[in-house]
Structure 1
């Protein structure tokens, strides 16, 4: 008696994708989720500067939201230095990392309540 040899589950497994296909699908998904940069007017810029100066002067924690390549990113920490010449903010994050933020990326600044 001869027995038919079947591939079992193998024939029902999903199709194999090449790495190029996977990369292209991730890029398409990423492009779909991107957001246009919000317009920040002069009064908002003044407000951001005031909050940054207060946070620096009083060593108060702050939340800075930036727009970077279509996505929002949030930083929480304390302002170490405001560099007016280079238009950068030097922020010490909660985990101790020093981060440099370009002022033209900033779309939101909030002072955190002290506990």
Structure 2
């Protein structure tokens, strides 16, 4: 006689408990969050130099930004650097303009 196990299905919440499913989803999201890396002034200066270099020679840039515990990568050419609002405007491949705050940037890579 073999035992028929339902596997992961037995741990799945019932459909009549939406709060429980939301809590499990939030718990999974919180588990994958990362702390923001500490960026010093020298790294910010290096980011600025790379952005200026890419803007001068019209190279593409891959910016990695940290938002609410998750890293996102944006690839595009530098359209405008706004020193007043401290943001970079990138023109992406699908001709959209993305505004990225410099406080969110954790890595800059020039794609030649």
Q: Compute the TM-score of the two structures, normalised by the length of structure 2.
A: 0.84
Within a 5 Å distance, the mapping from 1:1-115 to structure 2 comes to 16-17=14-15, 18-113=17-112
What is the aligned residue count?
101
Q: Distance in 2 between matches of 1:60 and 1:50?
A: 13
Q: Alignment partner of 1:30: what SS?
A: helix
Per-residue CA deviation, residues 82-108 of structure 1 (Å, 9 max, x unaligned), is 000000100111222111000000000
Q: What value does the CA root-mean-square deviation take over the aligned residues?
A: 1.4
Q: Which runs of 5+ in 2 are unaligned?
A: 1-8
Rg larger in 1 or in 2?
1
Moved more, 79-88 or 91-100: 91-100
Q: Distance in 1 between matches of 2:18 and 2:77?
A: 42
Q: Distance in 2 between matches of 1:35 and 1:63?
A: 20
Which residue matches 2:5? none
Q: Distance in 1 between matches of 2:102 and 2:110?
A: 16
Q: Distance in 2 between matches of 1:99 and 1:24?
A: 32
After superposing on structure 2, the runs of 4+ consecutive aligned residues of structure 1 that deviate more than 4 Å are none
